[in-house]
Amino acid sequence: MTLLRGLFWFGACWWAVLALAQTPAELPLAKDLHEVVHRVPVSVQDLYGRREQRQIPVTVFKPAGDGPFPMVVLNHGRATSREKMAQPTRFRYEQQARYLVGKGFVVMVPTRVGYGETYDGFDPETNGGCSQPRIEPMSLAASDQVLAVAEFARSLPFVDAARWWVMGQSVGGLTSVATAWRNPPGLQGAINFAGGTGGDPVGRPGRSCGTAQIGQLWKARAAQAQVPMLWLYWENDLFWGAQAPRDWHRAWLDGGGQAEFHQLAAVGQDGHSGFSIDMDRWVPWVDAFLAKAGVTQAALPPVPTPSGFAQVDEIDKVPVGAETRQSLYTRFLASPSPRAFAIGPGGAGFATGDWAVGRALGFCQARRGITCKLYAVDNQVVWRN
């Protein structure tokens, strides 16, 4: 499942319209998130018994400082066509990684075998098709790569490999469930965002062809999982529909597993993309889940109270250059709420819509490595010198 991301560092509105986070090869690294890319060796086997070794790119984001910090391995979904799998993609999920880094995590985002630079016809995540889908081989192949990334993380001095979580969207959520039942060392919990496989939002909207097989597998493996889990789905998911995730959760419970389950209200045209377009609603659930493990650090600075520095429409008082006021702040004023505008040394950024404050700060500071502060939120100026 793919996500087309329009990311403009100067502060354009970022809307996710599919389900994978793609990255143009020329996109600069996010300096404020200390972004680097490693190549990690992995060995994976497909459902036909073919085993291959590859080097996969792993995007790493980290907080400022030496750490060691707890870690999240964040997993992407599956492309809906071979053409999309072959695109020169490095998965980043910068918006979501920014939230997790704000919580104090190192975030590692692997681009798994069969996508982007490792696309060469070997597809360890095929389930064999709708006639008789096999879910476990693809689950093991994907989670093998999570385990390899977690092992690699032990070599990084700023990572506390004894405290890590696995999270993912769509097939990445399926991957998170599989990682949980395998109980690797140091794993503290798992979060499944709209996890599953076998969906076709065009040909079979809301009806996955692997519904029964997923339920059977998860029921069989549930008792093996020893870590707490959070499952988040959306009512208008065009891949699975509303009922299948409830059935899967019931199968997990019937198999002796434990997982907190929430089905969020419809969002956008397809709730399967809720991980990317509904942060305002899922972040509180994840905050609460992580707080149970002692992770209570706020991901964003609190929004200041109105400062009286200026009225929101007094453009000439915005402490940025005239060109930025005219080109960027006027666009902010023309945008609907929720909205936020941030400024910093030599930079500015704005966002409107979902998770506006976090995205505005990110657009302002990401490529420059500067620290930005909020100037205005909605219709109030909150800037203080």
21 or 63: which carries more pLDDT confidence?
A: 63
What is the C-alpha separation between 324 and 318, in angstroms, rounded? Answer: 9
pLDDT score, position 208: 83
> Is 352 inside a domain boundary?
yes
Q: Amino acid identity of 199? A: G
User: pLDDT by residue (tens digit) across 322-353?
Assistant: 999 999 999 999 999 999 999 999 889 999 99
As a whole number, mean pLDDT of residues 101-123 equals 93
All residues at 6 or more sequence positions from 65 whose CB lies less than 8 Å from its CB, including other chains: 158
Which residues partner with 52 through β-bridges? 44
Question: Residue 12 pLDDT > 50, yes or no?
Answer: no
The residue range of the domain holding 324 is: 315-381
Q: State whether 156 and 249 are in the same domain.
A: yes
Residue in the block written with tokens 């959070």: 230
User: Is residue 251 classed as helix, strand or coil in its secondary structure?
Assistant: helix
Residue 36, number of CB atoms within 10 A of its CB: 12
201 or 316: which carries more pLDDT confidence?
A: 316
Q: State whether 322 and 287 are in the same domain.
A: no
pLDDT score, position 85: 60
Tell me the pairing of strands 260-264 and 229-234.
Answer: parallel
Q: State whether 219 and 364 are in the same domain.
A: no
> Is 93 inside a domain boundary?
yes
Q: State whether 60 and 177 are in the same domain.
A: yes
User: pLDDT by residue (tens digit) across 354-374?
Assistant: 999 999 999 999 888 889 999
Phi and psi for 109 in degrees, rounded to 5?
A: -115, 100
Last residue of a domain, one of 291, 307, 336: 291
User: pLDDT by residue (tens digit) across 31-84?
Assistant: 999 999 999 999 999 999 999 999 999 999 999 999 999 999 999 998 765 666
Report which of 244, 238, 179, 239 is spatially closest to residue 211, judged by C-alpha positions. Answer: 244
What percentage of the chain reaches a pLDDT higher than 90? 79
> Is 120 inside a domain boundary?
yes
pLDDT score, position 199: 84
Query: CA triplet 187, 193, 197: central angle to 5 degrees?
Result: 100
- pTM for this model (two decimals): 0.90
> Is 208 inside a domain boundary?
yes
Q: How does residue 86 score in pLDDT terms, banded at 50, 70 and 90?
A: low
Q: State whether 84 and 183 are in the same domain.
A: yes
Residue in the block written with tokens 């434990």: 258
Tokens of 56: 């996969």
pLDDT score, position 57: 95
User: pLDDT by residue (tens digit) across 167-194?
Assistant: 999 999 999 999 999 999 999 999 999 9
Q: State whether 165 and 271 are in the same domain.
A: yes
CATH code (residue 241)? 3.40.50.1820
User: pLDDT by residue (tens digit) across 239-285?
Assistant: 999 999 999 999 999 999 999 999 999 999 999 999 999 999 999 99
The number of domains in the chain is 2
Radius of gyration of the chain from its Cα atoms, rounded to whole angstroms: 21
Q: How does residue 8 score in pLDDT terms, banded at 50, 70 and 90?
A: very low
Question: Residue 87 pLDDT > 80, yes or no?
Answer: no
> Is 361 inside a domain boundary?
yes
All residues at 6 or more sequence positions from 215 whose CB lies less than 8 Å from its CB, including other chains: 247, 248, 251
Q: State whether 111 and 201 are in the same domain.
A: yes
- Helix 171-182 and helix 211-221, axial crossing angle in degrees, nearest 10: 20
Q: State whether 126 and 187 are in the same domain.
A: yes
Tokens of 124: 């360890």
pLDDT score, position 14: 26
Q: State whether 287 and 319 are in the same domain.
A: no
> Is 6 inside a domain boundary?
no
Residues 361/298, Cβ–Cβ less than 8 Å: no
> Is 85 inside a domain boundary?
yes
> Is 11 inside a domain boundary?
no
* DSSP H/E element including 18: none
On the 0-12 / 13-18 / 19+ scale of CB atoms within 10 A, 134 is: middle
Q: State whether 89 and 208 are in the same domain.
A: yes
**H helix count then E strand count, the chain:** 11, 12
Lowest mean pLDDT segment, chosen from 3-7, 275-279, 314-318: 3-7
Residue in the block written with tokens 């008792």: 223
pLDDT score, position 209: 87
Whole-number Cα distances in Å, 97 to 9, 34, 261, 326: 16, 12, 22, 31
Q: State whether 99 and 210 are in the same domain.
A: yes
Q: How does residue 149 score in pLDDT terms, banded at 50, 70 and 90?
A: very high
Q: State whether 244 and 339 are in the same domain.
A: no
Strands (E), the chain: 36-45, 51-61, 69-75, 106-110, 159-169, 187-193, 229-234, 260-264, 339-344, 347-352, 373-377, 380-381
Residues 187/160, Cβ–Cβ less than 8 Å: no
Last residue of a domain, one of 232, 256, 291: 291
Report which of 11, 104, 51 is spatially closest to residue 359, judged by C-alpha positions. Answer: 11
